[in-house]
Amino acid sequence: MKVLVCISHVPDTTAKINFTSDQKAFDKNGVSFVINPYDEFGLTRAVWLQEKQGATVTVVNVGTAETEPTLRKALAIGANDAVRINAEPTDGFFVAKQIAHLVKENNYDLVIAGRESIDYNGTQVPGMLAAMLDWPFVNACVGLEVNGDQAEVVREIDGGKEKSVVPLPAIIAGQKGLVEEKDLKIPNMRGIMQARSKPLNVIEPVEADLRTESVHFEKPAPKGDCKMIEPDNVEELVNLLHNEAKVI
Amino acid sequence: MSVLAYIETWEGKFKKTSFETAAYASHVAKALGTDAIAVVLNATDDPAQLGQYGIKKVYRASDAGDFNNYVWTNTIVAAAKEASAKGIVISGTFGGKMIGGLAAVKFDASLITNISEKPTSTDPLVVRRSAFSSKGFVDYQVKSERFILSIIPNGIGVSAAEEASAEVVDLNVVSDHAPAIQVKDVDRVKGKIPLPEAEMVVSAGRGMKDPSNWNLIEDLAEALGASTACSKPVSDMGWRPHSEHVGQTGIAINPNLYIAIGISGAIQHLAGVSASNKIVVINTDPEAPFFKAADYGIVGDAFDVVPKLTEAIKAHKANQ
């Protein structure tokens, strides 16, 4: 079984987000980057499939050379090899197109991605990738077992969960639940040493038409002061919520 | 030309988010000088009522069976093509997210997700969306002939209904060329509003000390008619189900009112809730970072403040 895990290279969860002075781009200055947290759940599940069911795990990122430390970290966690598609990603369609091309050339049985990246929160790539390949697509996946040529999946639905069986190959967009937070794999020293000599192949992008263009970046307006209410005067809070905030 | 709203149903009934997509499609259609239409699958509610949200015509597909995202997407796209739609409006529900990416490829369209405002401009079409886990906005310009806009549930108020009835026409379900997905089991909590759609949310964290104390939270939520949520540590410890976890790796919500009890307000938690209209924070620690992101705050013990607040809400409701 060949598993491909899509890895986004994103600002650390605690990073302060700033934009360039012309408000045309995200300002990467002073920001440290990590594996997208949603992708980590999928990567850990893939490494589990490698350990228990003999899968080989490839990780892929669409990005410039600066994303390689993130891919090396994924190798240290346990992926067998990595592919970097050498391009500055412009939008979800561009990224999906690149990964679809890679998948068509390599016969993967399963592709796992995060349900969204924590930078652009697009929730676009896995679904687009599925449609480009005509493969089944399961979003917000919180449970994944592989049995021969099919996958048993649990996905989050509005207000509940749905269990289904999908034929492989398939695209899974995962989140917490695919593995538990406490079971997330953290690279150990041996993994980090091994990662240095694992293959990281760089390939060039294919053409994709520009579907959307980011034209302006802006931070939310700063929040006003918090109005403090005495703990023995909750009636005042109810009054403010009703008359001032008009939310109850 | 037209703009098509996708109307989601649950057990045949229109979801609240469907009125939001209908109203948003009507707004975009008006701005583009064209009509808003809609498509619905498996509805028992009468599609004609969507006329109240500005929809002129509804394509109704019946007997579509269990949810299959390919069948649904292909049917929606068939309606869009039949009506020569320029764009489709969907909601960013879990159901909508199963469809958006597929539809963008099948409809050959620009996809913009996470939208909580009306378009910034219509010629060219530029739409503002939330990004960086609510720490920024990005304006995107549509570069394709066609577009799909996915709006955040609860993000855009539904404008006042007008007295009108939509024309209803039948549409065939497009079930060929879809992967064979077998749905085995659907487990949905009855009578509970899905968190992303809830107008009011009462959320609690480790400050509640033990899961057995959650009755205080549930009582307050019930008095308000709110849904309940929790912080990441609480879901990680198994005190509450994962589906209640709001924050960066959980669910992002933007209710009209968010009440956070015993939650310190780590940056990862704020990422999932800071888009809420009004935020109330109740915490024993006056230095809790959450107060900086709040509109109203009480420094106090939840075990003392929350029951009193529940009674005050009940008294307020009784006087309405």
The domains found in chain B, sorted by start residue, are 2-170 (3.40.50.620), 195-318 (3.40.50.1220)
- pLDDT averaged over chain B? 95
For residue B118, the one-letter residue type is: K
Residues of chain B with Cβ-Cβ distance to A245 below 8 Å are 257, 277-278, 295-296
- pLDDT for B160 beyond 70: no
Q: What is the pLDDT of residues B55-94, one digit of tens each?
A: 999 999 999 999 999 999 999 999 999 999 999 999 999 9
- Contact A225/B at CB under 8 A: no
Q: What is the pLDDT of residues A112-164, one digit of tens each?
A: 999 999 999 999 999 999 999 999 999 999 999 999 999 999 999 988 999 99
Residues of chain A with Cβ-Cβ distance to B293 below 8 Å are 223
**Residue in A120, A162, A213 closest to B131 by CB:** A120
Pairwise CB contact (< 8 Å): A219 & B140 = no
Nearest Cα of chain B lies from the Cα of A199 at a distance, in angstroms, of 30
Query: Rounded distance, CA A74 to CA A191, Å?
Result: 10
Pairwise CB contact (< 8 Å): A157 & B188 = yes
Q: What is the pLDDT of residues B184-208, one digit of tens each?
A: 999 987 767 889 899 999 999 999 9
- pLDDT averaged over chain A? 97
- pLDDT for B40 beyond 90: yes
- pLDDT for B95 beyond 90: yes
**Is the preceding omega at residue B196 within 30 degrees of 0, hence cis?**
no
Residues of chain B with Cβ-Cβ distance to A211 below 8 Å are 104, 109-111, 142-144
Give the CA distances from residue B58 to residues B80, B98, B171, B252, B319, in Å, rounded to whole numbers and listed in that order: 11, 22, 9, 31, 42
CB B75 within 8 A of CB B39: yes
What ipTM describes this predicted complex?
Answer: 0.96
Query: What does DSSP say about strands B9-10 and B13-14: parallel, antiparallel, or unpaired?
Result: antiparallel
Q: Largest Cα–Cα distance of chain B, in whole Å? A: 60
B234, B208, B237, B206: which is closest to B220 by C-alpha? Answer: B208
pTM of the model: 0.96
Query: Rounded distance, CA A41 to CA A178, Å?
Result: 6
Tokens of B92: 């960013």
DSSP state of A19: B
Pairwise CB contact (< 8 Å): B136 & A218 = yes
Pairwise CB contact (< 8 Å): B140 & A230 = no
Query: Rounded distance, CA B310 to CA B222, Å?
Result: 9
**Residue in B106, B150, B224 closest to A248 by CB:** B224
CB A129 within 8 A of CB A108: no
Pairwise CB contact (< 8 Å): B130 & A124 = no
Nearest Cα of chain A lies from the Cα of B141 at a distance, in angstroms, of 5
Pairwise CB contact (< 8 Å): A231 & B267 = no
Interface A-B: count of C-beta contacts within 8 A: 276
Please, is A2 exposed, middle or buried when counting C-beta atoms within 10 Å of its C-beta (0-12, 13-18, 19+)? Answer: middle
Residues of chain B with Cβ-Cβ distance to A225 below 8 Å are none
The secondary structure of chain A in percent helix, strand, coil, rounded to multiples of 5, reads 30, 30, 40
* Superfamily of A2-217 according to CATH: HUPs (3.40.50.620)
- pLDDT for res B158: 85
Nearest Cα of chain A lies from the Cα of B131 at a distance, in angstroms, of 5
Q: Which residue has the tokens 């060329």?
A: B177
Greater pLDDT, A81 or B11: A81
Tokens of B114: 């996470």
- pLDDT for res B61: 98
> Rounded to 5 degrees, what are φ and ψ at B186?
-120, 125
- Contact A127/B at CB under 8 A: yes
Instruction: Read off the pLDDT of each residue in B24-37 and give the average, rounded to a whole number.
Output: 97
Q: Which of residues 249-308 of B touch A (CB under 8 A)?
A: 249-250, 252, 256-257, 267-268, 271, 274, 277-278, 280-281, 291-301, 304-305, 308
Nearest Cα of chain A lies from the Cα of B139 at a distance, in angstroms, of 5
Which of B72, B98, B99, B132 would best serve as a mutation to test chain A binding (most A beta carbons within 10 A)?
B132
- pLDDT for res B157: 79
Instruction: Read off the pLDDT of each residue in A94-98 and give the average, rounded to a whole number.
Output: 98
B22's CB contacts (< 8 A; 6+ apart) are B5, B7, B36, B38, B50, B53, B54, B55
Pairwise CB contact (< 8 Å): A158 & B126 = no
